[in-house]
Chains A and B, each alone.
Chain A
Amino acid sequence: MLGRLSPEAKETLARFMQPSTIIGLSILVGIVALGVIVPLASPYDPYATSEDVLRPPLSEGPAWPYILGTDSLGRDLFTRIFYAVSIDLAVALVTVGLAVSIGMVIGLVSGYFGGILDSVLMRIMDVLISIPGFMLAIAVAAALGASLFNAMLAVAVVTIPIYARLMRGVTLSVKEQLYVTAAKEAGLSSFRILFRHILPNAMAPLIVQSTIELGNAIIYIASLSFIGLGAQEPQPEWGLMLSTGRKYLREAWWYPTFPGLMIFLVVLAFNLIGDGLRDALDPRLRGTLKIRRSIVWQLLKSET
């Protein structure tokens, strides 16, 4: 496969395949794969209670063994945890998607048109960002009522400013560049300039930022569920499972531990991928990497 790619494509691919990206992707792909396979293959209904309450991992079950044990209602944890993959990941994707699209539009409009519109929009973003995020999310989620959907909206609202500011910065710097000025003079509509010329330039930092924010979104949503403002019983959701399981930590360590571990692994995967992408996409690091490494080496060597 690789052999047929052009040399440029190979180089790009190599650039993206940082070790951290590879590790992060493997974790993510592994979890997603299990998230697809387990619900299809598992003989257990994630919602059905049973008499096998709080069984330890690997104990005997009526069909499969209970690989990760059972919860306080006798439901198979392994099945529930991987059922939750699609819920938690979908929630994170929608949350970040929502925040990115709204933030992007605000940032683009604000940066491109400037003036009073810019001041007003950015003031609003300043206000949003000067209320600590999770606190605002709690207030919003509480105002809307406790549900997973509302938790999603709450987290999206509080993360909009991140993208709006990012986007505005990029827009401002690109706007003055020659080709945009040229496009303007050529009589292109604002809409086309925004989407044809400015947006592509902003993609790299947006992608890096949103990858990392996917991890944060998972933590936020899980935390909201943890304090009772997110998912509701009997929804299989990691934060809720962790929250309910915490009561049984002493007698059934597996119940809260595995959902917690899943949150950790997924967040870790997103952070690793984000790191890798940043290294690959950050233009400042590109090309200078080799020279820089040699300087450090010389510097340290000459000192010792």
Chain B
Amino acid sequence: MPSRSLVIGVIGVIIIAILVAMAVLQPPALRREAVLIVGTTFDPKTLDPALAYDIASAIVIQNIFDTLVTYKPGTTELQGKLAERWESNENATVWTFYLRKGVKFHDGTELTAGDVKYSIERAKELQGPPAFLIDVIDTVEVVDDYTVRFILKYPFAPFPALMAFMLTAPVSPEAAEELGESFAENPVGTGPFKLESWVKGQEVVLVANEDYWRGKPKIDKVIIRIFKDPSSLRIALENGEVDMAFGIQPSDVPALLENPDIKSLSIEGLVIEWLGMNLRKEPFNNPLFRKAVNYAINYDYILENILKGTAVRLYGPLPPGIWGYDPNIESYAYKYDPEKAKELLAQAGYPNGEGLPKIELLISTEERAERGEVAAVIQDNLRQIGIEVEIVNLDWSTFLDRLFAKDFDMYMVDWFPDYADPDNWFYPLFSTEGLGLDGYNNSRVDELTRKARTITDVEERTRIYHELQRIVVEDAPWAFLYVPKLYVFMQKNVEGFVLYPAYYIDFYPVYKTS
């Protein structure tokens, strides 16, 4: 039947034509200079600064909103942003900020002290996840249009650092009142970019704010594409589909560093990863046992073979990137020494692990895929000295549930600071007034932590934090693991980007050369 052959023939020709077109036709120069395409594995949850408490949301929010205070490029040192300067009273309970003039919200209204007061009160009222951070603020006073005063409930020296956290960013009162809950999808701030569109879980599109107080950004548009699978992100980067990539997994880093078509930046971060123990229980209430664990772990193996050089060792409670870090800490920190570990284990009353109960190590590999492998190494290391551990990999919410219910033996987790001040490690993690995860209780630590909050003199605070590090390392409530470095990978023509240890992602200075 000729008609049938004809049909088959036509279909064949169409298929071949499509295949040829796919191979031959290349789209015309699409990569306009003015558009920046960012690939990330982080998926924002909300764009309302009062509700956001995750890195993914922060990356976007930081570009739509400005805070009063920010970090100097590439450091954890503070400088003014919406505030030109600030001052405090003697005991750090009253803080006055002097605002920049002529700053406009995306809706055209001008920023005044009243808006700052409104935004703080709004955040307190909404009681979003990070709202507890501003519990310290008692009242906000409008001194004049450009002067705002914060009265604190107790002395709090890290206050300016807290004002660099996105929670405190001024929002447009008109927009916030009018939009109500949907403000989270239609944010109006003072930042360099405005939100154009947001398809949840897929992409966020930002456009330049023409009236930005520092001048219009160099790029017209930022398209943030969310990749759920880090390997796809790597391929997209290598194929030139994205200009910048955040969230590349450590196993891909060495190859990308060697790739001549791609450039990278890296910086030591402030995130710390540790192995926690439940000090309320046997055998973890025994410091000798905890020290044995600290000596049993092969840190260099983890850093080299699993993290592939993308992290540095954490010797104590503080990461090296924050001021107050004790430069001599290496001299009294724990290093891999299985023989010593065995000795300590025997001294603790468990020679070769005899008499130990079954130990569970809780982890969640959702946000850090390499954690599974690190846990496997630690498990093997501990097995070598006689401690048998079972790894339990949980989803994030179950993990947190069990952690807060104190229903665990050991766990591995990381901590991202809310503000770049040593207080944000010691107070929540080691003071009994903090989260109390591990059941660590040392009255000297409580006392020093409280004292350091009330002093504004940086040198004196530094001395206190050095002492605190010594005490905590000696008590060994954790096994201190590592500090991941922050990486960004870019195409060769992307310029101007600066990495901040506090993971402040600023697209404002970025531009592309042709």
- A and B directly contacting (CB within 8 A): yes
Q: What's the Cα separation between A228 and B381 when bound, in Å?
A: 23
Pair B373/A233 contact, Cβ less than 8 Å: yes
Pair B380/A47 contact, Cβ less than 8 Å: yes
**Cβ of B10 < 8 Å from any Cβ of A?**
no
Task: Give a binary string over B227-266; 1 marks a CB under 8 Å from any A CB, 0 the rest.
Answer: 0001100100000000000000101101100000000000
**Cβ of B441 < 8 Å from any Cβ of A?**
no
Pair A233/B231 contact, Cβ less than 8 Å: no
**Cβ of B375 < 8 Å from any Cβ of A?**
yes
Chain B: interface secondary structure? Answer: helix
**Cβ of A51 < 8 Å from any Cβ of B?**
yes
Pair A248/B372 contact, Cβ less than 8 Å: no
Pair B305/A74 contact, Cβ less than 8 Å: yes
Pair A142/B395 contact, Cβ less than 8 Å: yes
Pair B251/A232 contact, Cβ less than 8 Å: no
In this complex, which of B234, B301, B305, B306 has the most chain A Cβ atoms within 10 angstroms of its Cβ?
B305
Closest Cβ neighbor of B384 among chain A residues: A48
Pair A146/B251 contact, Cβ less than 8 Å: no
Point out the residue from A74, A234, A248 that lies within 8 Å of B391, measured CB to CB. Answer: A234
**Cβ of B143 < 8 Å from any Cβ of A?**
no
Interface members, chain A 215-269 (any B CB < 8 Å) = 228, 232-234, 244, 246-251
**Cβ of A53 < 8 Å from any Cβ of B?**
yes
B residues within 8 A CB of A47? Answer: 380, 383
Q: What's the Cα separation between A48 and B301 when bound, in Å?
A: 13
Pair A228/B393 contact, Cβ less than 8 Å: yes
Pair A244/B372 contact, Cβ less than 8 Å: yes
B488 to chain A, nearest CB (A): 20
A223 to chain B, nearest CB (A): 15
**Cβ of B75 < 8 Å from any Cβ of A?**
no
Point out the residue from A48, A74, A146, A246 that lies within 8 Å of B231, measured CB to CB. Answer: A246
Closest Cβ neighbor of A251 among chain B residues: B255
Pair A244/B373 contact, Cβ less than 8 Å: yes
Task: Give a binary string over A69-100; 1 marks a CB under 8 Å from any B CB, 0 the rest.
Answer: 00011100000000000000000000000000
A residues within 8 A CB of B301? Answer: 49, 51
**Cβ of B365 < 8 Å from any Cβ of A?**
yes
Closest Cβ neighbor of A45 among chain B residues: B380
**Cβ of B79 < 8 Å from any Cβ of A?**
no
Task: Give a binary string over B370-392; 1 marks a CB under 8 Å from any A CB, 0 the rest.
Answer: 00110111011101000000011
Closest Cβ neighbor of A250 among chain B residues: B255
B402 to chain A, nearest CB (A): 11
Q: What's the Cα separation between A56 and B375 when bound, in Å?
A: 24
B229 to chain A, nearest CB (A): 9
Closest Cβ neighbor of B235 among chain A residues: A250
B residues within 8 A CB of A244? Answer: 372-373
Closest Cβ neighbor of B251 among chain A residues: A247
A residues within 8 A CB of B234? Answer: 250
Pair B393/A232 contact, Cβ less than 8 Å: yes
With A73-B306, A73-B377 given, name 5 new contacts (CB 8 A): A72-B251, A142-B395, A232-B393, A250-B231, A251-B255
Interface residues of A (CB under 8 A from B): 47-49, 51, 53, 72-74, 142, 145-146, 228, 232-234, 244, 246-251
Ordered by A's residue number, 23 sampled pairs between the chains whose C-beta atoms are within 8 Å are A49-B376, A51-B301, A72-B306, A72-B373, A73-B306, A73-B377, A232-B392, A232-B393, A233-B372, A233-B373, A233-B379, A234-B376, A234-B379, A234-B380, A234-B391, A244-B373, A246-B231, A247-B231, A247-B249, A247-B252, A247-B369, A250-B231, A250-B234
> Which 9 pairs, one residue from A and one from B, show the smallest C-beta to C-beta distance?
A233-B376, A53-B305, A234-B376, A247-B251, A49-B380, A233-B372, A232-B393, A233-B391, A49-B377
